[in-house]
Amino acid sequence: MEHEKVIVLNFGGQYDQLIARRVRDHGVYCDVVPYTVPVEELRKARPSGIIFTGGPNSVFDPSSPHYTADILSLGIPILGICYGAQLMAWMGGGVVETAERSEYGNIRLRVTSADSLLFRDVPRESVVWMSHTDRIKTLPEGFSVTAETEDCPVAAMENKQKRLYAVQFHPEVTHSAFGDRMLYNFLFGVCGCKGDWQMESFIEDTVAALRKQIGDKPVVLGLSGGVDSSVAAALLSRAVGRQLTCVFVDHGLMRKDEGDIVENTFTSLFDMNFVRVNCADEFLAALRGVTDPEQKRKIIGEEFYRVFWSEIRRQKETGFFAQGTIYPDRVESGKGDADKIKTHHNRVKTPEDIEFLGIIEPLRDLFKDEVRRVGEKLGLPKELVWRQPFPGPGLGVRIIGEITREKIEVLQNADWVLRDEMAKNGYDKQLSQFFCVLPTVSTVGVMGDHRTYDHLIAIRAVTTDDFMTADWAKIPYDILARVSSRITNEVKHVNRVVYDVTTKPPATVEWE
């Protein structure tokens, strides 16, 4: 079934997929394509609308990403955002200049056109998220100003007749108070969308595409037991059944009893071949004496690589290789020109001596919350769908300094207490991610009549929509007090608990 769709034309902005996600939230299918896609391909795609993303460049710089002005004459509604707004002005014959004063962060917007479709049901004044150095100085012919700020006289413009709209701010981020309403107005008021695409459609289309791509060939998936690989496994299992082999490498760095839980869950729920490789001793031996975080990641990655592919080589036949990669993995591991933020992500490089027919990433364009919705629609258990995100190196990135068996046990037990207490009081449903960290810092304490010198445990808990940014969770003091009391009383060799109150950015969610 062919669905109406909107195309996001990416000019190097970091929010390209976030825009797409906001569009899909309104029931409209959305594709993200690079700005190098020819205009004729866009014409043939017959989208209901096109959105230009932001970007870090200046439109008057010859080396910046540009596009042919023919796109403005396709008769397709277009919304330009930030750099995309400046590009629309530049292509239409307007003038863009470096602003006397840049705007960053929350800025008060004033709507100056009461009859603009884009600002229908939006208050005359509201807060939007700005991030720009350049601004539109002179409007293209046929355009009019529809909103302004104190330092930006053209915060929004439109050519109603040609259905061309542009905003200097970012309506896709939650900081823009009525940004979602503006996107809704563009989709339904300007583009005339019906909103008939739902997650069931994604599942149906993806399963059909997987069957067509895979045929009767085998598929291998590295299964961690986390949400992403689990949902990927469910999709592949529905598509090809026992053609799928899932390999679970238990490196001994998982949460308490999690290896057994993973095995029991997947052998009972899925029609697949499940292989568990127990190799905790090998990982600990390789990590002995290592304290540098990047070196630890490298060793864990290399050891995982060795164990995983040794098991794959035992398979009788190689077909396709599948991964549970989601969009933030691609962004934070250096998608396009994005800065590389972390090295522990879901993508695995295949060895040269193993030839696959192709790489399959069925969740590559979805955010975490969308992946969870797919899992729910596939009938996965709630406790699996809403399982806490867990990094590939496991507790290896939550133990600061050298990793030992004793430290792993301390952290596993402390983390279990935290998760148990949060589940008991129901507060876990209000958190996006929470876990314990072992900083390998010893502090003085008193237990009974004796002074102690034992481990400190740090608690990290965040709330977020998409894990691109995150805020520290405001857990009530009485809950934190119970968690602290239980950890120091129930977990041996812990005499102090602290709480991390840092947002992302400047910090990452994980400590290492």
Nearest C-alpha neighbor of 511 from the set 453, 437, 418, 456: 437
Nearest C-alpha neighbor of 87 from the set 22, 126, 132, 20: 132
Instruction: Spot the catalytic one: 82, 191, 193, 246.
Output: 82
Pairing relationship of beta strands 358-360 and 125-138 according to DSSP bridges: unpaired
The span from the CA of 512 to the CA of 508, in Å, is: 8
Residue 199: how many CB atoms within 10 A of its CB?
17
Q: Is 402 left (phi over 0), alpha (psi -120 to 50) or beta?
A: beta
Nearest C-alpha neighbor of 18 from the set 361, 327, 425, 308: 327
The span from the CA of 185 to the CA of 192, in Å, is: 9
Contact 5, 31 (CB under 8 A): yes
Q: Is 35 left (phi over 0), alpha (psi -120 to 50) or beta?
A: alpha
Contact 460, 415 (CB under 8 A): no
Pairing relationship of beta strands 450-463 and 494-499 according to DSSP bridges: parallel
Backbone φ, ψ for residue 72 (5° rounding):
-75, -10
DSSP structural state of residue 388? P
Nearest C-alpha neighbor of 326 from the set 358, 361, 350: 361
Task: Give kind and range of the element (H or E) at residue 109.
Answer: strand 95-111
172 is catalytic: yes
Nearest C-alpha neighbor of 41 from the set 52, 50, 29: 50
CA distances from 76 to 46, 117, 237, 252 (A): 8, 16, 39, 55
Instruction: Spot the catalytic one: 103, 172, 311, 510.
Output: 172
| Size of the chain, expressed as the number of residues it contains | 512
DSSP structural state of residue 502? -
Instruction: Spot the catalytic one: 170, 251, 344, 345.
Output: 170
Spell out where 207-343 has E strands: 219-222, 244-250, 273-278, 320-322
DSSP 10-48: ESS-TTHHHHHHHHHHTT-EEEEEETTS-HHHHHHH--S
Give catalytic residue positions: 82, 170, 172
